[in-house]
Homo-oligomer: A and B are copies of this chain.
Amino acid sequence: MVTIKEVAKKANVAVSTASYALNGIKKVSPETKEKVLQAARELNYRKNGFASDLKRNSTKTLALILSDLSGPFYSELIRGVQDVATDHGYDLIACSAIGGENSTAAKFLTEHRVDGCIVLAHNITDEMLKNVAHHHFPIILLDREIEIDSTVHVRVSNKRGGFKATEYLIQNGHTDIAFVSGPSNSYDNKMRFAGYQEALQAYNIEPQNKWVVSGNFTREGGESAANILAAQDQGPTAVFFANDEMAVGGMEAFQKRGISIPNDISIIGFDDILEAKYVNPKLTTIRQPKYEMGASATHLIFQMLKNEKVNPIFELHTDLIIRESVKKL
């Protein structure tokens, strides 16, 4: 491994001069600069990033912590993060939280390996975040409930979104509305369900326990939830799936049983994933501003890095996207 010392020696200058030259600092004359760069080229010098980060005490890198690198995840959200980070001249890496305490995520979270983190991972414990959060290390939390000092939440108005979805079904004449829920430890899911309940109540519709079934936010979960609903003798006329992934699975399952959408049953989802407009019929859903979530989160990090005070909660709103999967009764 060739170091800056060797470059300096080859160029016949002090290592400080070499460093200035390599970093393009004006203090050095054009000739010596060229001499140094030439030497570096000849030796194929590559700087050691750690050494430099260590000295500079800053990495100019942000980490995006995901439950699992191998997705599926919101690519638009990532694009939002990426764009803003790049704008600020920062690098972005993504790492996985699989393995909890021993995960890569944990390593990056605890060992000062980045200047800030965006956490979108259920498998990082609140405990761990508490231990690691402090004023000089900005952490942005997505889809979480707990309050931690010096930590910021970016959220979407899930409850209002759940309300809107349900209300839309009601306005189309439905009263027998099922809810297919995600994992019970998801904050998003909890809020969407709350919105559903609130809408039923607002319109004086009696909630039916048999119509809330669990689907775990996965396509397969959606399928089995649909099967459960379809098997009931007194089934619902509309289903609100707590995310699109489940809705897509559910539609598939209904159709396989010869149940037509939206003629026999209406479907609404949540998220507006890419696929939503490619399924048949196209899925009516609640859109989350995913790009904006990523971008806002990242903006917040930079504000925190500049020691500006920021509001501990940042909420974005949702939109109803009307397509073809809901029929007026």
Point out residues on A near B: beta carbons under 8 Å. Answer: 1, 44, 46-54, 59, 61, 64, 69-72, 75-76, 78-79, 82, 86, 91-96, 98-99, 104, 107-108, 110-113, 131-132, 134, 136, 219, 248, 252, 275, 278, 280
Cα distance A48–B113 when bound, in Å?
7
Cα distance A78–B94 when bound, in Å?
12
Is B75 a contact partner of A104 (Cβ separation < 8 A)? no
Question: Interface on chain A toward B: helix, strand, loop, or mixed SS?
Answer: mixed
Cα distance A275–B219 when bound, in Å?
11
Q: How many copies does the complex hold?
A: 2
Q: Which of A46, A108, A110, A275 has the most C-beta atoms of chain B within 10 angstroms of its own C-beta?
A: A46
List the 3 shortest-distance A-B pairs measured between CB atoms, nearest first. A49-B111, A91-B104, A70-B78
CB distance from A314 to the nearest CB of B (A): 21
Question: Could you say which residues of chain B place their CB within 8 Å of the CB of A51?
Answer: 50, 54
Question: Could you say which residues of chain B place their CB within 8 Å of the CB of A134?
Answer: 44
Is B107 a contact partner of A82 (Cβ separation < 8 A)? no
Chain B, Cβ-Cβ closest to A56: B50
Chain B, Cβ-Cβ closest to A248: B278
Partner of A94, one of B48, B94, B248: B94
Is A86 a contact partner of B99 (Cβ separation < 8 A)? yes
Chain B, Cβ-Cβ closest to A132: B46
Chain B, Cβ-Cβ closest to A291: B70
Is A69 a contact partner of B61 (Cβ separation < 8 A)? no
CB distance from A7 to the nearest CB of B (A): 15
Question: Could you say which residues of chain B place their CB within 8 Å of the CB of A79?
Answer: 70
Is A69 a contact partner of B82 (Cβ separation < 8 A)? yes
Cα distance A96–B62 when bound, in Å?
12
Cα distance A252–B281 when bound, in Å?
12
